[in-house]
Amino acid sequence: MRLAWRAAVAIAASAIVIPVFVTPATASHSWNGYHWSTGSYPINLDPTNSLSDGFRDTGISTDVNADWNRSSRFANTQRFGANDATTRSDCPYPAGRSYRMCDYNWGATGWAGLAQIHINGNHITDGRVRVNNYYGTSNSYRRHVLCQEVGHVLGLDHQASGNNSCMDDSSAGWDELHPNAHDYEMLERIYDHRHTSLAATAGTGERTLHREVCSNRTVTRLADGTLLVELFLPPPAQ
């Protein structure tokens, strides 16, 4: 599966290589300290919930949002947006400084969950979370995937296996459905300062100048200088 994903995102050999520094999922599991700009805490990103009715009815998205709001840095309030099949399939980035959550059967993509985040400078400007129904629709599957991908959108990388965190992307992590204390500690460290002005929303025209593939992360530098960071969760073992 992972090889199929790499093949799908590989670029031509003539591309100019630009170093992209990747933070391993060790004691520090932020990805280069990228974060949302803010003038005060807690931050409310007003995430748009475009999950299917069946997904919403389980209350999983509400529970996952509440889990991440246990961090002193966030008090996100979901907005329930359009969730027709076209919206969920396209999962458009929200207008403004926020992120959207969608689920859909995207087929055998090689990823169960995918977080895609635009970055301008050091600041996240918008993002989207996708949960692939092709690989599962059980409550535990959806809870693990959504918890991890939302964690990525907030600025966290994967955690190492065995840490009892939903940020564990290993084959052993599928019964880990919540953040752990280290996830909250990392958010405190990432968001340990304030900004006097908020970052402007970056353009999202995704014409690739460079793409760097590293295990379960892809970093693409777009034509306007914005970075598109994509972090994916491999599907559970069949």
Give pLDDT, residue 215: 67
Q: What mean pLDDT is predicted for residues 43-70?
A: 97
Buried b vs exposed e over 30-50: b needs ≥16 C-beta within 10 Å?
A: bbbebbbbbeeeebebebbbb
Average confidence (pLDDT) over 29-53 = 89
Q: Give the separation between CA 55 and CA 64, rounded to whole angstroms.
A: 12
Higher pLDDT, 199 or 100: 100
Cα separations (Å) of 222 from 75, 208, 212?
31, 5, 12
pLDDT confidence of residue 179: 97
End-to-end CA distance of the chain: 11
Q: What is the pLDDT, as a whole number, of residue 198?
A: 38
Please report the sign of the dihedral spanned by the C-alpha atoms of residue 57, residue 238, residue 5, residue 179. Answer: positive
pLDDT > 90 in the chain, percent? 69
Task: Quote the tokens at residue 105.
Answer: 């059967």
Cα(62)–Cα(67) distance, integer angstroms? 9
Q: Which domains does the chain have, with CATH numbers?
A: 2-206 (3.40.390.10)
| Phi, psi (degrees; rounded to nearest 5) at 44 | -115, 110
